[in-house]
Chain A
Amino acid sequence: MKYLDEFRDPILAKKILAEIHKTVTKPWVIMEICGGQTHSIIRNGIDQVLPKEIELVHGPGCPVCVTPLEIIDKAIAIAGKPNVIFTSFGDMLRVPGSKKDLFMVKSEGGDVRTVYSPLEALTIAKNNPKKEVVFFAVGFETTAPGNAMAIHQAAKEGIANFSELVSHVLVPPAMEALLSSPENRVQGYLAAGHVCTIMGWEEYDPIAEKYQVPIVPTGFEPVDVLEGILLVVKQLEEGRYEVENQYLRSVKREGNQPAQELISKIYKITDRKWRGIGEIPQSGLSIREQYSAYDANLKFSVEDIQTNEPELCISGVILQGLKKPNECPAFGKECTPTTPLGATMVSSEGACAAYYKYQRMGK
């Protein structure tokens, strides 16, 4: 398949790997931001073949893992209301709230549907004018334009029975939060390729400069990831700290401007709590006042949400790259994908799920 097979070519991948082995002389800690990259690394066994000097730590770039419990509980409460069709990307359905998950709401008779695009949710709203259709708008900058488009269209076509429960998060503030933490170990970033496709990489320049870390927007196939690692390692070895683009076929410096304009037309930047990390200032998106008619948060009064998040697992430490999933005492024992203790084990992009799925032998 074009644009895919050439970036999975084992011969090319092995060449880049040899180049990495030649370049590295000192130990380095590199974080890949995006859960998609984590999965590619574990699935292809990239961490098994890298030189021992390079330690990859897995970043918070899994939107499912960082969606705060209050919002999941709110989603569950709204989805259980009688006149509601609750739509969501599939990943969110198995994430446990305080008492249950969205799958259980469905089995109790709630109308919970998986969609692949918020525009499908809008079509459902058009076809069911007597129902309230709510879309669970989670994700990073990658999914924000589509979610903004759904509200834009709803306003344009006057579809009043559509709304979004928004929990969007922004990547650069989280990268900065991790770097400024006293426990930080990260010396270089593979930035999330798809996020940069939308937003470009201008906003990374000041971060690279301020914290003196190389930042490389990187794709998701094995050749991409290895190339990204090579670019970061070269910079680290040479003492440089720049933003350097690996994902040339998709990322432009300025990003996708029409998409950015649409995002800022519908959403505004707000403080946001990240599950496992805590509140990060200016790190989320919420719906602007002029579109508040489409804000499920305002449309549905959901009272009495009492979140219950006991400290049972170390997903927060894992999301910050301080520990590896298999260093958790519960990993593979009390905590498995069937009985997850944390969102990092639930989501297909979560680091714990990736370790469990592909690499638990002999560990």
Chain B
Amino acid sequence: MKIENLSCPLPIMDHKTIQLAHGAGGQLSNDLIDTLFLPRFSNKTLNAMEDQAVLDFPGKRLSFSTDTFVVDPIFFPGGNIGELAINGTVNDVAMCGAKPLFLSVAFILEEGLPMEDLHQILISMEIAAKKAGVTIVTGDTKVVNKGSCDKIFINTTGIGVLESDLNIASSQIKMGDKIILSGTLADHGMAVMTSRDGLSFQSRVKSDTAALNGLIDSMLKGSNNIHALRDPTRGGVATTLNEFARSSNLGISLIEENIPVKSDVKGACEILGIDPLYVANEGKLIAVVSNEDAPNILDAMKNHPLGKDAVIIGEVVSNHPGMVTMKTGLGANRIVDMPIGEQLPRIC
């Protein structure tokens, strides 16, 4: 048989409209930030591209961060959009070592939202704020026409104070540093995905949503030699590590068999054809720490309930700068890439 037609389609290079993938935390999100946002708002603090801004005032350093929550469904196994909105911003404020103190909360409510749902969400926000030791000091509410938003969107903004000499940022990452993950991967993302409409399978996977400022406190008591901290939310551990590799211009090398995933979560990922490295977490952190102090910090983490499964998953290396690789069980190496957009379920 003669084979013809050795061709393929033109690429779709530039999107004329916003695609969902622009908000998925992967490569397209980065492109949006690099080409549209940064050129307009560029300044030293913003350009650091951390999850929080660190602001210097005479005698005080503040950590400042904001995040908007649009999760669907609004109630999922292990939590709801309200506690997620508290914990998410508390964590972003805390990931530079700051103590989170105050939050603002703004709601966009869709006409027709059951009052009972709102009530339940507020109760969990109250409990989550108490647990995290933060006070909600200002807020706003808007109601929009049915269809103009999906049930409820929440924005939270947080402020925290920073010990004056701490400098935890991805720019501090050094060759030889160890990479610690505070616990199992992908619990939140899979809890949400498996409870979405239309996915008709049962699972026991629960979200890990939690405020991590207490865990960070314990770690800092173990050692100040923490170079970078981040909570691997949207885009998962793979995205966070790629951001670290790029901003430090160093390589990151992971060991596949050290990466902890609960067996239920692994099962759900297998069925849906999704890689847990790219799935969102809401109660986990990645710490890049000095090689010498790694045992101390790991011990401190293991003694805290939110870090009991903490484990060293890899190290910072000088070869392949800007890139994350993983040693497979067979001893081969593969790239762990930045995701493009949303993870698509596989076809078969």
Instruction: Enumerate chain A interface residues (CB-CB to B < 8 A).
Output: 1, 4, 8-10, 13-14, 17, 36, 42-46, 48-49, 63-64, 69, 89-94, 96-98, 100-101, 103-104, 106-108, 113-117, 120, 123-124, 138-140, 142-143, 177, 180-183, 194, 222, 273, 275-278, 280, 308-317, 320, 334-335, 337-344, 347-349, 356-361
Contacts and interface: CB of A to CB of B under 8 A. Distances in A.
A276 B266 CA distance: 35
A52 to B, nearest CB: 14
8 nearest interchain CB pairs? A45-B332, A316-B6, A342-B8, A10-B329, A90-B344, A358-B334, A48-B332, A311-B7
Interface string B322-345: 010100111111110100110011
Given A315-B8, A343-B9, A358-B334, 16 more contacts: A1-B267, A9-B329, A10-B330, A44-B329, A44-B330, A45-B328, A48-B333, A49-B330, A96-B11, A107-B20, A276-B6, A277-B5, A316-B7, A337-B340, A358-B335, A359-B335
Contacts of A309: 5, 7-9
Nearest to A307: B9
A84 B273 CA distance: 27
B344 A45 contact: no
Given A8-B329, A43-B334, A278 B10 contact: no
Contacts of A90: 344-347
At the interface, is chain B mostly helix, strand, loop or mixed? Answer: loop
A339 B330 contact: no
A276 B8 contact: yes
Which size bracket describes the interface of B in this complex? Answer: 35 or more
B36 interface: no
Interface in B230-269: 257, 263, 266-267
Contact of A44 (B15, B18, B273, B332): B332
24 contacts: A9-B329, A43-B334, A44-B330, A44-B334, A45-B331, A49-B332, A64-B347, A69-B9, A90-B347, A98-B10, A101-B12, A103-B19, A107-B18, A120-B198, A142-B348, A276-B8, A309-B8, A313-B7, A313-B8, A315-B6, A347-B347, A348-B344, A349-B347, A357-B335
A233 B50 CA distance: 52
A317 B272 CA distance: 30
A57 to B, nearest CB: 15
B348 A45 contact: no
Contact of A49 (B6, B273, B331): B331
Interface string B195-226: 00011100000000000000000000000000
Residue of A92, A314, A337 ringed by the most chain B CB atoms within 10 A: A337
Contacts of A36: 346, 348
A36 B198 CA distance: 25
Contacts of A308: 9-10
Contacts of B140: none
A128 to B, nearest CB: 12
Nearest to A277: B3
B163 interface: no
Nearest to A309: B7
Given A46-B330, A361-B323, A314 B344 contact: no
Contact of B4 (A104, A140, A278, A342): A278
B1 interface: yes
Residue of A8, A103, A273, A356 ringed by the most chain B CB atoms within 10 A: A103
A357 B324 CA distance: 11
A139 B330 contact: no
A348 B275 CA distance: 11
Contacts of B346: 36, 89-91, 348-349
A36 to B, nearest CB: 7
A114 B342 CA distance: 12
Contact of B330 (A14, A123, A182, A278): A14
B8 A312 contact: yes
A361 B347 contact: no
B42 to A, nearest CB: 23
B10 A312 contact: yes
Contacts of B347: 63-64, 89-92, 138-139, 143, 347, 349
Given A316-B7, A339-B13, A361-B335, A1 B270 contact: yes
Given A96-B12, A343-B8, A349-B346, A116 B272 contact: yes
A36 B346 CA distance: 9
Contacts of A348: 273, 344, 346
A183 B334 CA distance: 31
Contacts of A276: 5-8
A278 B5 contact: yes
B324 to A, nearest CB: 10
Contacts of A143: 347-348
A13 B329 contact: yes
B178 to A, nearest CB: 22
Contacts of B10: 96, 98, 308, 310, 312, 341
B21 interface: yes
Contacts of B328: 43-45
A357 B337 contact: yes
Given A92-B347, A120-B200, A339-B13, A1 B266 contact: yes
Contacts of B1: 177, 180-181, 280
A289 to B, nearest CB: 27
B68 interface: no
